[in-house]
Structure 1
Amino acid sequence: MKRIIISFLALVLFLPSLGFAQNFDQSEFEIWKAKRLKSLLSETGWLNLAGLYWLKDGNNTIGGADGNDCQFPTEHSVGKLGNIYLEKGKVYLKDVPANATITVKGVPFSGGLIFEEGKESPVLVHQSLRWFIIKRGEKYAIRLRDLESEYVKNFKGIEYFPFQSNLVLKAKFVPTKGRKLKIVDVTGRVYEEESPGKVVFNVAGKEYALLATQEGDQLFIVFGDTSNKHETYGGGRFLYVDMPKNGEEVIMDFNRSYNPPCTFTPYATCPLPVAENKLPIQILAGEKYTSHY
Structure 2
Amino acid sequence: MTVQDTSAELEAFVHDWQEWHHRQEARLADPHGFLAITGLHWLSDRPERFPDAPGAWSTDADGIVVVLDEGEELVVDGTVVRGEHRFGVIPERGGVDAVWGDAVIEVAKRGGQDIIRPRHPNTPLRNGFTGTPAYAPHPRWVVTGRYTAFDEPRPTTVGAAVEGLEHVYDAPGRVEFELDGRPLALTAFPGHGPGSLLVLFTDATSGVTTYAANRALALDAPAADGTVVLDFNRAANLPCAYTDLATCPLPPAENRLPVLVEAGEKLPRERGGS
TM-score (norm 2): 0.84
Match of residue 124 from structure 1: 98
CA contact (8 A) 1:114 1:133 kept: no
Match of 1:171, SS state, is strand
Shift of residue 48, structure 1, vs aligned partner = 0.9
Please give the alpha-carbon distance, in whole angstroms, between the structure 1 residues aligned to 2:151 and 2:227: 19
Q: Tell me which of 83, 87, 94 is aligned to 1:115.
A: 87
Shift of residue 233, structure 1, vs aligned partner = 0.7
Q: Tell me which of 152, 176, 179 is aligned to 1:203.
A: 179
Q: Give the total of aligned pairs.
A: 254
Please give the alpha-carbon distance, in whole angstroms, between the structure 1 residues aligned to 2:207 and 2:23: 26
Within a 5 Å distance, the mapping from 1:1-293 to structure 2 comes to 25-60=13-48, 62=49, 70-72=50-52, 81-98=54-71, 100=72, 102-104=74-76, 108-117=80-89, 122-136=96-110, 138-178=112-152, 179-186=154-161, 187-215=163-191, 216=193, 217-292=195-270
Q: Go from structure 1 to structure 2 and tell me whether the alpha carbon gap of 1:291 and 1:205 turns closer, same or farther (over 3 Å shift).
A: same
Match of 2:140, SS state, is helix
Please give the alpha-carbon distance, in whole angstroms, between the structure 1 residues aligned to 2:67 and 2:83: 5
Shift of residue 273, structure 1, vs aligned partner = 1.8
Gaps of 5+ in 2: 1-11
Please give the alpha-carbon distance, in whole angstroms, between the structure 2 residues aligned to 1:286 and 1:122: 31
Letter in structure 2 aligned against 1:182: T
Shift of residue 101, structure 1, vs aligned partner = 5.0
Gaps of 5+ in 1: 1-23, 63-69
Please give the alpha-carbon distance, in whole angstroms, between the structure 2 residues aligned to 1:95 and 1:118: 20
CA contact (8 A) 2:201 2:257 kept: yes
Please give the alpha-carbon distance, in whole angstroms, between the structure 1 residues aligned to 2:96 and 2:190: 27
Shift of residue 272, structure 1, vs aligned partner = 1.6
Deviation string, structure 1 residues 129-151 (Cα, Å, up to 9, x no partner): 21132223553221211111111
CA contact (8 A) 1:156 1:292 kept: no
Q: Go from structure 1 to structure 2 and tell me whether the alpha carbon gap of 1:142 and 1:29 turns closer, same or farther (over 3 Å shift).
A: same
Please give the alpha-carbon distance, in whole angstroms, between the structure 2 residues aligned to 1:236 and 1:158: 15
CA contact (8 A) 2:36 2:122 kept: yes
Q: Go from structure 1 to structure 2 and tell me whether the alpha carbon gap of 1:90 and 1:104 turns closer, same or farther (over 3 Å shift).
A: same
Shift of residue 41, structure 1, vs aligned partner = 1.7
Q: Go from structure 1 to structure 2 and tell me whether the alpha carbon gap of 1:226 and 1:87 turns closer, same or farther (over 3 Å shift).
A: closer
Q: Go from structure 1 to structure 2 and tell me whether the alpha carbon gap of 1:292 and 1:95 turns closer, same or farther (over 3 Å shift).
A: closer
Shift of residue 284, structure 1, vs aligned partner = 0.3
Please give the alpha-carbon distance, in whole angstroms, between the structure 1 residues aligned to 2:44 and 2:110: 13
- Give RMSD over aligned pairs: 2.3
TM-score (norm 1): 0.79
CA contact (8 A) 1:180 1:192 kept: yes
Match of residue 3 from structure 2: none
Please give the alpha-carbon distance, in whole angstroms, between the structure 1 residues aligned to 2:259 and 2:247: 25
Q: Go from structure 1 to structure 2 and tell me whether the alpha carbon gap of 1:182 and 1:48 turns closer, same or farther (over 3 Å shift).
A: same
Please give the alpha-carbon distance, in whole angstroms, between the structure 1 residues aligned to 2:111 and 2:185: 30
CA contact (8 A) 2:32 2:121 kept: no
